[in-house]
Amino acid sequence: MEHKYIIDFQHVDVTQHNGSVVLQDISLQLEPGEWMYLIGKVGSGKTSLIHTIHGRLPVRKGTARVAGFNLLTAKARHIEQLRRRMGVVFQDFQLLYDRTVYANLAFVLRATGWRTKRKIDERIMNVLEKVELKRKAGSMPHQLSGGEQQRVAIARALLNSPDLIIADEPTGNLDTETSDDILKILREINRNEGPAVLMATHNLTILKNYPARTMRCERGALTGLDIDEEIDMDEMLEA
């Protein structure tokens, strides 16, 4: 069945495994191909919300659809299918450090059912080209800079041509210039292929340079940010 939104959350509680409610009665709708930011202080619930969208934290009430999958009724195999429609990028890259860039990507493709060596090679070169890292296919992750490692993580997120990329503070470990490179690459991917992007960030320079619809986690609620609202830098960065 077709759905209008890539993420459609209505009256959802974001709840930790221990039962504590992190965000109460939230609504969040993301259109296909849309680019949206998620902001909020440390501990305000950004990562918990991302984990909920990713099917790692349970949803018990409301409406919660991601890429057409209903999180309230999805079985484990549906969650597995859903995760193929979704690429995830983390602050700390989460590469496998005991193998090459190529092997990191091949591992994901094999785990998601790719069998033909030629097709695997083609796909890996295709995603590495998008992040301008073709020449590093044979490198070990520790031989790469932080920015390059994050680009490998982005390439990995693209392997199965996702409808949605969720990025949890993807520039949190990077300097300003490298962060900007990462943003440019993600913007390019978002424009050319149209996966929607939901990005949690603390980086106000990014919000300023690449403005887009922004939602804020605050005191257990998720609210839309007025486009003209000045973001108080101190308040944003306060732990």
Ligand X SMILES: Nc1ncnc2c1ncn2[C@@H]1O[C@H](COP(=O)(O)OP(=O)(O)O)[C@@H](O)[C@H]1O
CB closer to Mg ion out of 42 and 231: 42
139: tokens are 């490198």
Residues near ligand X, by CB under 6 A: 16, 18, 22, 40, 42-48, 217
Supply the DSSP string of the chain, one letter for each residue.
---S-SEEEEEEEEE-TTS-EEEEEEEEEE-TT-EEEEE--TTSSHHHHHHHHTTSS---SSEEEETTEETTT--HHHHHHHHHTEEEEETT----TTS-HHHHHHHHHHHTT---HHHHHHHHHHHHHHTT-GGGTTS-GGGS-HHHHHHHHHHHHHTT--SEEEEESTTTTS-HHHHHHHHHHHHHHHHHH--EEEEE---HHHHHHS--EEEEEETTEEEEPPTTPPP-HHHHH--
Binding segment (CB under 5 A) for Mg ion, from list 42-50, 59-67, 122-130, 147-155: 42-50
Query: Out of ligand X, Mg ion, none, which partner does residue 45 contact, by CB within 5 to 8 A per kind?
Result: ligand X
Cβ contact 71:64 at 8 Å: yes
Which residue number, 46 or 123, has a Cβ lying nearer to Mg ion? 46
Binding-site member from 26, 35, 38, 47 for Mg ion (CB under 5 A): 47
Q: How far is the CB of 9 from ligand X (least distance, A)?
A: 15
- Per CB under 5 A, contacts with Mg ion among 140-199 are none
Q: Which is nearer to ligand X, 22 or 207 (CB)?
A: 22
Q: What is the nearest approach in angstroms of Mg ion to the Cβ of residue 28?
A: 16
Cβ of residue 52: shortest distance to ligand X, in angstroms? 9
Residue 232 Cβ vs ligand X, minimum distance, rounded to whole Å: 17
Give which of Mg ion, ligand X, none residue 22 binds (C-beta under 5 to 8 Å, depending on kind).
ligand X
- Tokens describing residue 124: 């890996």
Q: How many residues bind Mg ion (CB under 5 A)?
A: 2
CA dihedral of 168, 173, 177, 179, whole degrees rounded to 10: -10
If the CB atoms of residues 4 and 17 are measured against ligand X, the closer one turns out to be: 17
CB of 162 to Mg ion, least distance (A): 21
Nearer to ligand X, 22 or 82 (CB): 22
Interaction partner, residue 48 (Mg ion, ligand X, none; CB < 5-8 Å by kind): ligand X
Q: Which residues bind Mg ion (CB under 5 A)?
A: 46-47
